[in-house]
Structure 1
Amino acid sequence: MDPTFFSQVETHLTPERLGAYRQDDVDNASALARYLLNMALCESLYSPLQFAEISLRNAMHTSLTARAGTDTWYNTLKLPHWQSNQVTDAKDHLNRAGKPLSSGRVVAELTFGFWVGFFTKPHMTSGLAYNIAKTAFTHAPKSERNVDSLRPKWQKVRDLRNRVFHHERVLHWQDLQTQHDKMLQLIGWMNPELEQLARMLDRFTVVRQEGLTPWLEKLHHNWPANQ
């Protein structure tokens, strides 16, 4: 690959960022190909991550509404301070934007971490976590409708989401395919039709199986070393 081209790319992406892809002293083309493959993998994970986040939010909202007897459950259920603060921030954001404080709008403002937080100790102590596990995942096997099963799975999804959305490296995850497959399964445990839709759109497995080859070919074809 043309060294001048790589030098300019490295300057703007920074040597530190590209350095994460050349820890085994590979050549410039291989390091950049790994970076591009990582981008492609992250891009392919956007759809299932979006389905996972939206379906979790809506399934929990339905469950919490039934539990509290109102769709503004966030005003009546006892929440830890950090979750209460998120609700307050969501309302403040809507007020500043001049939008009504409907339950749908407030719920949509809450972060993915807010929802995964319902599997933590305060909600286990109150029993709310166990109720959610049983009522929000109605299509899961009975043996999986429990906090001990769901909590680590959703924490993994949250960790993956954060890395993908912050443009970090996921290429090195040995269990990346497994995490992808489990995420699709989690979607199906809430809504089988959404899982079908997610699988129809899914490109992750193909991108991962193709590996570095197409990216190396593109780099060598477009910026050959002897140009």
Structure 2
Amino acid sequence: MLSGLPMWVERTFSAPRFGPYLNAFPGDWLTAWNLYRWNMEVSAAFYIPLQCLEISLRNAEHDRLRAHYGHDDWWRSAPLGRDQLGKVAKAENDACRKGDRRASPDDIVAELPFGFWASLLNRAHDRYLWVPVLHRAFPGYRGDRETLRDNFRSVVLLRNRIMHHEPIHHRHLTADHDKIYRLLGYIEPEVIVWARASDQVPEVLTRRPQPTPP
């Protein structure tokens, strides 16, 4: 039983799921519960900057690749790996199930996940995608592909934890937040001002629960 908390908390959220929060404040059940709620709040707050980055990355890479290959369904020509081609096939099937017509390239692009677009920066694509095409999707970037890929993979991990309702309170969330905007700046700096106008992450970070006074 989760000591000092209503019984519905354990029935609804389960003691094992509550464990990572209690580990942050051993023996302090009330603050651990407040941390659980705060984790929900900060996860929701990250939705706006993450959405801006995911959409920006998707459209920047898609625009460059379709221009390079000369057709909207560029994945039929690009040297993608088996896992990536599987994601394209799944995206096409998912898009078809949502409508009563054959999925268009735009429908498929909209279904492809954040991780797919980040994976196009992998070392395997250095010669055939990054060098001739994809580096142009990041006009504000002057570093190497590997560093850029690692930064995007970190943000994809954050995004996936949020979407699967997992703890993120243990992460350096201020650094995560800064990284999202840094990556946005590499693609389209002007979107940053627009995104920050609705971004609640900085304010929510100031409300992180503190241990209950003895």
Q: Same fold (TM over 0.5)?
A: yes
Count of aligned pairs: 208
Deviating 4+ runs (over 4 angstroms): none
* Pairing of 1:49-198 with structure 2 (within 5 A): 49-96=50-97, 97-124=99-126, 126-138=127-139, 140-141=140-141, 143-144=142-143, 146-173=144-171, 175-198=172-195
1:196 and 1:118 map into 2 onto residues whose CA distance is 27
Amino acid at match of 1:73: W
Amino acid at match of 1:210: R
1:148 and 1:121 map into 2 onto residues whose CA distance is 7
Specify the structure having the higher radius of gyration (Cα).
Answer: 1
1:86-113 residue CA offsets vs partner (Å, 9 max, x unmatched) = 2122222333332343221111111111
2:206 and 2:137 map into 1 onto residues whose CA distance is 33
Query: Is the contact made by 2:5 and 2:29 (CA closer than 8 Å) also made in structure 1?
Result: no
Query: Is the contact made by 1:91 and 1:101 (CA closer than 8 Å) also made in structure 2?
Result: yes
1:120 and 1:103 map into 2 onto residues whose CA distance is 23
1:58-111 residue CA offsets vs partner (Å, 9 max, x unmatched) = 000011112212222011222111111221222223333323432211111111
Pick the structure with more helix per residue: 1
Query: Is the contact made by 1:136 and 1:190 (CA closer than 8 Å) also made in structure 2?
Result: yes
The answer for unaligned runs of 5 or more in structure 2 is none
Amino acid at match of 2:128: G
- Greater relative CO (CA pairs within 8 A, separation 6+): 1
- Name 2:8's counterpart in structure 1: 8
Q: What SS class does the counterpart of residue 103 from structure 2 fall into?
A: coil
The CA RMSD measured in Å over matched residues stands at 2.0
Amino acid at match of 1:11: R
What is the TM-score of this pair, normalised by structure 2? 0.89
Q: What SS class does the counterpart of residue 161 from structure 1 fall into?
A: helix
1:145-178 residue CA offsets vs partner (Å, 9 max, x unmatched) = x3122111101110100111111111111x2211
The answer for unaligned runs of 5 or more in structure 1 is 217-227
